[in-house]
Amino acid sequence: MDPYAKPGERKVGEHRPRIEHVAPKETRRKKRQERQAEKQQVTAERRAIKKSARRHLQRQLERDRAETGSG
Protein backbone atom coordinates (compact mmCIF):
# COMPACT_ATOMS: atom_id res chain seq x y z
CA MET A 1 0.00 0.00 0.00
CA ASP A 2 1.28 3.43 -0.91
CA PRO A 3 1.22 5.74 2.14
CA TYR A 4 0.93 8.80 -0.13
CA ALA A 5 -2.02 7.46 -2.14
CA LYS A 6 -5.34 9.24 -2.23
CA PRO A 7 -8.10 7.82 0.01
CA GLY A 8 -9.85 6.12 -2.93
CA GLU A 9 -6.64 4.49 -4.14
CA ARG A 10 -5.69 2.79 -0.87
CA LYS A 11 -8.15 -0.07 -1.06
CA VAL A 12 -6.38 -2.02 -3.81
CA GLY A 13 -4.70 -5.38 -3.98
CA GLU A 14 -5.15 -7.86 -1.18
CA HIS A 15 -6.99 -5.41 1.10
CA ARG A 16 -9.60 -4.30 -1.43
CA PRO A 17 -13.26 -4.66 -0.45
CA ARG A 18 -14.97 -7.77 -1.80
CA ILE A 19 -18.06 -7.51 -3.97
CA GLU A 20 -20.11 -10.31 -2.45
CA HIS A 21 -23.40 -9.87 -4.28
CA VAL A 22 -21.91 -10.28 -7.78
CA ALA A 23 -19.89 -13.48 -7.48
CA PRO A 24 -21.73 -16.81 -7.49
CA LYS A 25 -21.54 -18.79 -4.28
CA GLU A 26 -19.34 -21.52 -5.81
CA THR A 27 -16.53 -19.09 -6.60
CA ARG A 28 -16.80 -17.16 -3.36
CA ARG A 29 -14.11 -17.95 -0.80
CA LYS A 30 -15.17 -19.71 2.36
CA LYS A 31 -14.59 -18.18 5.72
CA ARG A 32 -12.45 -19.90 8.35
CA GLN A 33 -15.47 -20.96 10.41
CA GLU A 34 -17.10 -22.56 7.38
CA ARG A 35 -13.96 -24.53 6.57
CA GLN A 36 -13.66 -25.69 10.18
CA ALA A 37 -17.32 -26.74 10.24
CA GLU A 38 -16.82 -28.82 7.08
CA LYS A 39 -13.73 -30.48 8.55
CA GLN A 40 -15.60 -31.29 11.75
CA GLN A 41 -18.47 -32.75 9.75
CA VAL A 42 -16.11 -34.99 7.77
CA THR A 43 -14.37 -36.06 10.98
CA ALA A 44 -17.71 -36.93 12.58
CA GLU A 45 -18.71 -39.00 9.53
CA ARG A 46 -15.43 -40.91 9.59
CA ARG A 47 -15.78 -41.49 13.32
CA ALA A 48 -19.29 -42.90 12.79
CA ILE A 49 -18.08 -45.20 10.01
CA LYS A 50 -15.24 -46.52 12.18
CA LYS A 51 -17.61 -47.05 15.10
CA SER A 52 -20.02 -48.96 12.89
CA ALA A 53 -17.19 -51.10 11.50
CA ARG A 54 -15.94 -51.92 15.01
CA ARG A 55 -19.44 -52.94 16.09
CA HIS A 56 -19.87 -55.10 12.98
CA LEU A 57 -16.54 -56.85 13.57
CA GLN A 58 -17.36 -57.38 17.24
CA ARG A 59 -20.69 -59.04 16.32
CA GLN A 60 -18.94 -61.16 13.70
CA LEU A 61 -16.30 -62.25 16.23
CA GLU A 62 -19.00 -63.19 18.75
CA ARG A 63 -20.86 -65.17 16.05
CA ASP A 64 -17.66 -67.02 15.10
CA ARG A 65 -16.92 -67.80 18.75
CA ALA A 66 -20.44 -69.15 19.23
CA GLU A 67 -20.15 -71.35 16.14
CA THR A 68 -16.78 -72.83 17.12
CA GLY A 69 -17.77 -73.26 20.78
CA SER A 70 -20.95 -75.20 20.05
CA GLY A 71 -19.42 -77.31 17.22
Residue 60 within a domain: yes
pLDDT at 63: 95
Amino acid in position 48: A
Domain-embedded: residue 35:
no
Q: Residue 11 above 70 pLDDT?
A: no
Residue 62 lies in a domain: yes
Q: What is the mean pLDDT of residues 1-8?
A: 68
- The answer to whether residue 71 sits within a structural domain is yes
pLDDT in the model for residue 14: 72
Q: What pTM was computed for the model? A: 0.52
Asked whether 1 and 9 are in contact (CB, 8 A), the reply is no
Total domain count, the chain: 1
pLDDT band of residue 6 (cuts 50, 70, 90) is confident
Amino acid at 34: E
Q: Is residue 70 part of a domain?
A: yes
For the chain, the average pLDDT equals 83
Range of the domain at 62: 45-71
**Is the residue at 19 inside a domain?**
no
**Alpha helices per DSSP H over 1-71:** 32-70
